[in-house]
Amino acid sequence: MEGGPSAGGSVVVPAVHHAFQRSTSGMSSSSVAEPLQLFRMLSSRPFPAREGMVSEGAILRRFWEAAPEGSVSVFTPNSLRLFRRSRSREDLNPAIPASRNPSFAEGVERMEQQPSFYVPGIDDNALGQLRATAIAGNDISSSCLYATGLVAQSAGIYGVFASLLVCVTLNLFRNIYSEVFSALPMNGGTYTALLNTFQTKNAATLAAILSTLSYTATAVTSAASAANYLNSELASLNAEAVTIFILCFFAFLTLMGIKDSANVATALFLVHLTTMASLIVAALVYVIRDDGTILLQSWHSTGHEANPHSTIAGNLFFGFCSALLGVTGFESSSNYIEEQREGVFPKTLRNMWIIITAINPALSLLSMGVLPIEKLVLQSDYALAVVGEICVGQWFRKLIVADAALVLSGAVLTSYVGITGLHRRLALDRIMPPWFLVTNELRGTNHVIIISFCVLAVSLRLLVSDMSVLGGVYAIAFLGVMMLFCISNLAMKLNRERLRRSPVAPLWSVGIAFCLVAAGFVGNLIKSPQNAQYFILYFLVFSAIVLSAAAQKPMLLFVERLTSGGRDPRSGSPTAAEPDMSSLVPVAGLRSRINFACQQRIHAINNWPIVFFTNTASLHTLNKVVHYVIRNEDTHNIKIVNFFGRNIPELPELGNQANFLDALEVSERNFMANLEHECAIIDRLHPKITIELLFIHGEFCPYTVDTLSEQLGIPKNFMLMTCPGDRFPHQIGQFGGMRVVTH
């Protein structure tokens, strides 16, 4: 079946030819042929030309960039049991014995034919509670090593209250994060949350830039801090060389895979918690033996160090701003949520909150009981090491220094894991270059992302000598991400209220959390205004990197016009559709070859398809989806998919559509006719968009979506759906990155 222009300017594009062109590069012919055997086309035809539906769009189609007219196709799977019912996560878990799961045998038979099918959280390497907590926990729990001194500098004797206020803020964010990611359990953190709750990618892209900046600053400052701790005991070590070694070592560790890196993170995490617990006990014993003399001396001190801002409110405010640096990394767990077992994510948030609440306020108070506040502020860079030496001895100081070096290095690992999950999602969404998705055949890791991030971090360490500058940039970026996450939670309550989620954070708690973080954001800018300048500089650099990939099509169009000899390529003889670029032969000359290459790439971008799953024949909803795609994607091809016929016990071998429709219920036949009519209207309202309607006999579930993704050659993150209701039997995360785009 071949489609071509008709005499009247209408283009027939049967789905058997047009709908299943595989756009993903690097796929062999064999990988394409096998999935095509899973479906059998029953019929395919163009949308009917209904009277009164031809409008100005018919005139616009005379330009070469106008899209072909859409088509409607009906499919049935070759294997009926493939789509006979929706499988649960238990049915898809190979770890469950067949004796406990009668349908498991037939499920395995199908899964062997679809080895790429993956349900997040049930893989053998999925992270349990301890390892998942350890990866993000190394970052947040190591904060006490530098935050204790910083809080003492900013809040004086009120540092313990500032730390407690931060713990209250973090407790509010526990429910906020749990609510969003119980509804959207997908990698990408704040980026994913904004992408699925807003009607535009711009807010999500802003979150991606801030998160990238935050992770980069985290990696460099953590590695530099670890090197400085080692340099304090071993002056012969070159701090810069040690920093670069740490960055490269953990890049290599991440290349080995998340399971191996998680084991290392867990070991570092447990050692650090043991060391901090020992320090708290030792300091408490010291204060008790001293009868609290030094603690009372610090509390009643009249020096500037005890009351740096002259008022209690000022001390608490700026102490709170500094103490917020002690919870950086709390958001990291959401960037690898798909690698965690089901139900683990909220436990990681709980565990990190307990750790921070138990460690940071206690050390802020007990440090003033071991060191007078004046000395504590004077030695703030290595305050805990000095406290350990006074309480126990020189050997304990060395132990704390070694622990600091190790756990701060573990925070570097958190940055690598977080940036990999984030940028893999960005590459899937074509915000970052597609070669970021290339994986290592030996370990299955995204080595391009990891190595690129390592090069970026090392170069940043070589270019910037003052780590306090990066620390300030880190604080601003982190707090910006937290504010955006509050906004995404509010957007979910407003735009995606039907999503099933638990717990649900009260509106007042989201508002209070946003105000507290916003106050910290402003306070850090007031405290160090020069950091705002550096933040803007780094933000613009990272924005240029991210937006250059997102603006690929405009750049190609610009180059194409430059190389077209001043002639608008669209001003040629009018045709009914885009030219078949595969049939064109480039002419000689560098300028012509560049022009031809740009046209080919633009053609490929225009024809990259987007899939929208619908179960309603609503013209309003379809139009909203088309406008969403126009605003956020560069494609000219939208496939609207409806799963039908779920109530038919057996599908007979029918040879034509008429007999097939006779087997359906009257209500379903009417629905299909109405949906076809609405799609035909949308197709004519948007002449530059090809609307293809695919009816597929089966049930909408993660496995059928995965199979369809293989069949069409379209990644699942380019598949869209309306917001599901409370009775929807699946989690959004089981669909492998599918986007929720309407109410």
Encode 256-275 in three state secondary structure: CCHHHHHHHHHHHHHHHHHH
Same-domain check for residues 219 and 167? yes
Number of domains making up the chain: 3
More confident residue, 487 or 444: 487
Same-domain check for residues 397 and 300? yes
Among 154-163, 332-341, 644-653, which stretch is predicted with the lowest mean pLDDT?
644-653
More confident residue, 647 or 10: 647
The whole-number average pLDDT for the span 189-197 is 85
Looking at residue 678, its amino acid is: E
Same-domain check for residues 220 and 277? yes
Same-domain check for residues 569 and 513? no
Same-domain check for residues 451 and 322? yes
Pairing of strands 690-697, 609-613: unpaired
Instruction: Determine, yes or no, domain membership for 237.
Output: yes
Instruction: Determine, yes or no, domain membership for 97.
Output: no
| Beta carbons of 166 and 326 less than 8 angstroms apart | yes
Q: Tell me: pLDDT of 188 over 70.
A: yes
Tens of pLDDT, residue by residue over 336-389, are: 888 888 888 889 999 999 999 999 899 999 998 898 888 888 887 778 888 888
Distance from C-alpha of 562 to C-alpha of 557, rounded to nearest angstrom: 9
Tens of pLDDT, residue by residue over 545-558, are: 777 766 777 777 77
- The CA R_g of the chain, rounded to the nearest whole Å, is 29
Same-domain check for residues 650 and 576? no
Distance from C-alpha of 370 to C-alpha of 507, rounded to nearest angstrom: 42
Same-domain check for residues 344 and 415? yes
Instruction: Determine, yes or no, domain membership for 263.
Output: yes
In sign, the C-alpha dihedral spanning 380, 383, 386, 391 is positive
What pLDDT score does 353 carry?
92
Instruction: Determine, yes or no, domain membership for 109.
Output: no
What pLDDT score does 128 carry?
84
pLDDT band at 44 (very low <50, low <70, confident <90, very high): confident
More confident residue, 37 or 624: 624
Same-domain check for residues 164 and 231? yes
Alpha helix (H) residue ranges in 142-257: 144-155, 159-183, 190-197, 202-233, 239-255
Same-domain check for residues 307 and 261? yes
Instruction: Determine, yes or no, domain membership for 367.
Output: yes
Burial class (CB in 10 A: 0-12, 13-18, 19+), 636: buried
Same-domain check for residues 300 and 439? yes
pLDDT band at 226 (very low <50, low <70, confident <90, very high): confident
Distance from C-alpha of 10 to C-alpha of 15, rounded to nearest angstrom: 15
Instruction: Determine, yes or no, domain membership for 7.
Output: no
pLDDT band at 306 (very low <50, low <70, confident <90, very high): confident
The whole-number average pLDDT for the span 681-696 is 86
Distance from C-alpha of 596 to C-alpha of 584, rounded to nearest angstrom: 9
Same-domain check for residues 425 and 454? yes
Q: Tell me: pLDDT of 1 over 50.
A: no
What residue numbers bound the domain in which 568 lies?
Answer: 560-603
Same-domain check for residues 623 and 580? no
| Beta carbons of 504 and 176 less than 8 angstroms apart | no
What pLDDT score does 42 carry?
66
The whole-number average pLDDT for the span 636-652 is 71
In sign, the C-alpha dihedral spanning 126, 131, 134, 135 is negative
The whole-number average pLDDT for the span 434-453 is 79
